[in-house]
Structure 1
Amino acid sequence: MAVPARRDTRMRVSEYREWAAARPDDERWELIEGVPVMMSPAKGRHQRIVTNLVKYLDDLAERRGCGAYPGLAILSEAMDDYAPIPDVVVQCGAPPEDGYTSDPLLVAEVLSPSTLVLDRGRKTEFYQTVPSLAVLLLVHQNEARVEVWRRAPDWTVEVAGPGTVIDLPELDGGLSVAEIYARLTL
């Protein structure tokens, strides 16, 4: 008896982009290991942290000709089956026209209980393949704790807690942990 050959049904970024362009505007999808994954709406606490990050990072980034954007997909030539959408992306130069960037300077992920394993695992591995990425912030939701991953030249990790200012020489400034969690009770 012959066994049917198994077909690899994973999407590559080019297929995904074409597929995602045809989706309704109110749907948000990211590509993870070749599979489109629909993103559910974030809860209020998550949104507040994202808003704070965009506000303070954009103020820092603007002085360097950069901007902080929520919802940009990240691309890497090293992994053609990923197009994750982190919570905040700092990119220099003109804003991307199509919602994708392959040259982020900084990425911030706000960790949710439902995505914690993926965000701290495969996504972190993916982000490390992006040559332009200098800083990755993994921001915890329920405690004042930020994991600061920095390319220096190998990746290092520091943890920033209450009362700490995260030094961001890439943006000629710093971001206080208090600013990230402003207007929230921990």
Structure 2
Amino acid sequence: MTAAYRGRPMTVTEFLEWDDGRYELVEGVPRLMSPHTDKHATMQSNIAGEIRSFLRAGLRAERIPCRVATKGCVKPRIRSTYNHRKTDITVTCKPNRAGDVFIPDPVLIIEILSTNQDETRDNIARFTSLDSVREIVLFHQAEALAEVWRRVDGIWPEDPEIIVGEVVHGEPKTVAGRVRLESIGMSLDFAEVYLWCDMTGDGQA
């Protein structure tokens, strides 16, 4: 959904002065982002928490000087003056600097599929323009499923790898399966991604 903004395309600088936090900038036009549900927020927290713990352990072992950020902003390489895209979860191996608006040199971007699939997939296409990005993962809400794109020898695949988890009924109910995050050398269990999530419904946002 786009905002009622008229006139010439808005620049990122103008957008940052105008935005109230609910929009992202797409080709110079503010676009209202789909509101997130409890399930979306739970999955986002679960994934970020697992990655943070993994990266912290790597930092202690002096192996992985990377960090994870949620609700961050990245700058597409193409038409960067008119695009301000927001991610669910981003991993970068660059330090944070006070005042920075964009997450520098993201290596891994994770999105959670919401009701507006076209917007999410449009963002993913833009993320592939970033030279630093090595991997993009899209988790579904309605089912235990992940789509994984990996850049190999500088080339992105035409289609993602599809990884399907299995809901295991019992007490407690859990989800079997895992996704390999090659960009940071981590295996992420579906059981942790969908922890505390109701997997009997089909709602997503």
> Which band: TM-score by shorter chain?
0.7 to 0.9
Name the SS for the 2:85 alignment partner: coil
**Count of equivalent residues:** 173
Corresponding residue number in structure 2 for 1:108: 110
CA–CA distance in structure 2, aligned partners of residues 37 and 96 of structure 1 = 27
User: How big is each residue's C-alpha offset from its partner over 1:2-56, in whole Å with a ceiling of 9 and x where there is no partner?
Assistant: xxxxx96112323323444xx4xxx332111211223354110110010011101
Aligned partner of 1:158 among 151, 156, 161: 161
Corresponding residue number in structure 2 for 1:31: 25
Name the SS for the 1:54 alignment partner: helix
Task: State the Cα distance separating 1:85 from its structure 2 match.
Answer: 0.7
Task: State the Cα distance separating 1:107 from its structure 2 match.
Answer: 0.8
Name the SS for the 2:50 alignment partner: helix
CA–CA distance in structure 2, aligned partners of residues 111 and 142 of structure 1 = 9
Name the SS for the 1:107 alignment partner: strand
Would you say the 8 A contact 2:48–2:69 is kept in 1? Answer: yes
Would you say the 8 A contact 2:135–2:182 is kept in 1? Answer: no
Q: 1:118 to 1:96 in 2, by over 3 A?
A: farther
Task: State the Cα distance separating 1:176 from its structure 2 match.
Answer: 1.5
CA–CA distance in structure 2, aligned partners of residues 104 and 37 of structure 1 = 22
Would you say the 8 A contact 2:34–2:114 is kept in 1? Answer: no
Residue 14 (str. 1) matches residue 29 (str. 2): no
Task: State the Cα distance separating 1:160 from its structure 2 match.
Answer: 1.4
Q: 1:128 to 1:8 in 2, by over 3 A?
A: farther
Would you say the 8 A contact 1:165–1:177 is kept in 2? Answer: yes
Q: Which runs of 5+ in 2 are unaligned?
A: 1-5, 59-63, 166-175, 200-205
Output the TM-score relative to the length of structure 2. Answer: 0.76
- Deviates most, 59-68 or 104-113: 59-68
Corresponding residue number in structure 2 for 1:89: 90
Q: 1:124 to 1:112 in 2, by over 3 A?
A: same
CA–CA distance in structure 2, aligned partners of residues 107 and 137 of structure 1 = 6
Q: Which runs of 5+ in 1 are unaligned?
A: 1-6
Would you say the 8 A contact 1:79–1:126 is kept in 2? Answer: no
Q: 1:35 to 1:96 in 2, by over 3 A?
A: farther
CA–CA distance in structure 1, aligned partners of residues 142 and 26 of structure 2 = 25
CA–CA distance in structure 2, aligned partners of residues 118 and 147 of structure 1 = 16
Provide the alpha-carbon RMSD of the alignment: 2.0
Output the TM-score relative to the length of structure 1. Answer: 0.83
Q: 1:8 to 1:77 in 2, by over 3 A?
A: farther
Task: State the Cα distance separating 1:139 from its structure 2 match.
Answer: 1.0
